[in-house]
Amino acid sequence: MRADAQRNYDKIVAAAAEVFTERGMDAPLDEIATRAEVGPGTLYRHFATREDLIDAVVKSWMAQIDSAATEAVESDLPTREVLQKWFNTYVARISRNRGGPSKFATAMGKPDSPIYSKCEVLRLANDRVLTRLRDKGALRADVDALEVCRLVGGVAVVADQAELGPDDVSSMLGIVIEGLLRE
């Protein structure tokens, strides 16, 4: 990649991160281009779709997800509390920008989505946590990570769209958690 192209690419991603934070992930691409000081055509050259741009922006979130999952795996707190903390963190991360949860929910399990690799990271992180708890005999045997991603993702989407606070999120997650525990 030519030096000026690389520079523009970086400026676009930085501008997108800002604009997504201020106005949500459905913000006008126009404003991103303007703030990055490039023409709209340049944005399209680097990112054919909005999802390709989202993929670049959320790349930096994934390390945080992974370290939260590791913390959950290594925790020796009661299962309920481990899951409360993990799911709350998970929801907070994917809800960082308005409109974000919906993007992940739509792409989850769709291999041809531009953000599929990020959905895979989310699924694998969940899988690590769930597998560990299942090995301890704390979870129902038939719990699938993709399914949990979707369900917890659904909580995130609803909370995002209805502008719910952390308490509402926690209590919805509480029901999901009870549904996952071995009875």
Instruction: Give the Cα separation of 128 and 70 in Å (integer).
Output: 8
- How far apart are CB 28 and DNA at their closest, in Å? 4
Residues within window 43-102 making contact with DNA, judged by CB under 7 A: 44-46, 49-50
User: d(Cα 157, Cα 101) in Å, to the nearest integer?
Assistant: 5
DSSP 124-181: HHHHHHHHHHHHTT-B-TT--HHHHHHHHHHHHHHHHHTT--HHHHHHHHHHHHHHHB
> Smallest distance, Å, CB 84 to a copy of itself?
13
Give the one entry of DNA, a copy of itself, none that residue 105 binds, where binding means its C-beta sits below a cut-off of 5 to 8 angstroms depending on kind. Answer: a copy of itself
Find the farthest-apart pair of alpha carbons in the chain and give their distance in angstroms, rounded.
Answer: 59
Chain contacts with a copy of itself (rule: CB under 8 A):
102, 105-110, 140, 143-144, 147-148, 150-151, 153-155, 157-158, 161-162, 164, 168, 171-172, 174-180, 183
8 near DNA (CB under 7 A):
yes
Count of beta carbons in the 10 Å neighbourhood of residue 61: 17
Contact residues: DNA, CB under 7 A: 1-2, 4-5, 8, 26-30, 37-42, 44-46, 49-50
